[in-house]
Amino acid sequence: MRFSARETRDLLIAWLALGMAFTLFLLVTSGAGLSPVGLLALVGTSLFVELLVLSLLTAGVGFLLHELAHKVVAIRFGQAAEFRADYTMLGLALAAALVGFLFAAPGAVYHSGRITPRESAGIALAGPLTNVVLAGLFLPVFLFADGGFLLQAGQLGVTLNAVLAGFNMIPFGPLDGRKVLRWNAVGFGASFLLCAGVGAASILYVGFPV
């Protein structure tokens, strides 16, 4: 699997921008009532750095592996596939985070070549299923951490990956669920119940670190 210079740049920028957006979201929703000026005052502090690292390792990694899963499966089916960042959406994600709204549509893997509806569904489903697996991997960290950074990482890693899996299975617009539904309604129903169920369970029983 190869990455062009542009694709590597886009992945890196999207990862960093998402990490920053989630950091701002966590700060704004912390209950401290921070204004934009107050947020700027926190840049470079130990709290800001800790939350940025936390966001990059959870939301950022979840996003990166989601997109790389699309790419791996697309290449497996003989496609030419590359990730492209959506800089407008990344800017909106940062702006939304400043007012306490969680929104992320950083870009997508674009692939081309002859493909069947079943293969297209497989490419689409690879992303959400990767997030389900990541949520499961973060769960022991959440369950067995004594507290502090590891507990937050486990909590955020479970919830964000589970929610990302469920959200992407919505059969609307460019989301993965629409491509799966196009292929097979039964297959869509089973995968939607799995991903949405994991997402709902994570919100109810794990929650966000606030």
> Catalytic residue positions?
67
- Return the C-alpha torsion angle 7, 44, 105, 167, nearest 10: 120
- How far is residue 151's CA from residue 88's CA, in Å, rounded to a whole number? 33
3-state SS assignment for residue 85? strand
Helices 148-168 and 46-55 pack at an angle, to 10 degrees, of 40
Q: DSSP code of 57?
A: I
Phi-psi map region of 91: left, alpha, beta (phi>0 left; psi -120 to 50 alpha): alpha
Q: What's the token pair of residue 42? A: 């926190």
Q: Of 49, 48, 18, whose CA–CA distance to 30 is shortest?
A: 48
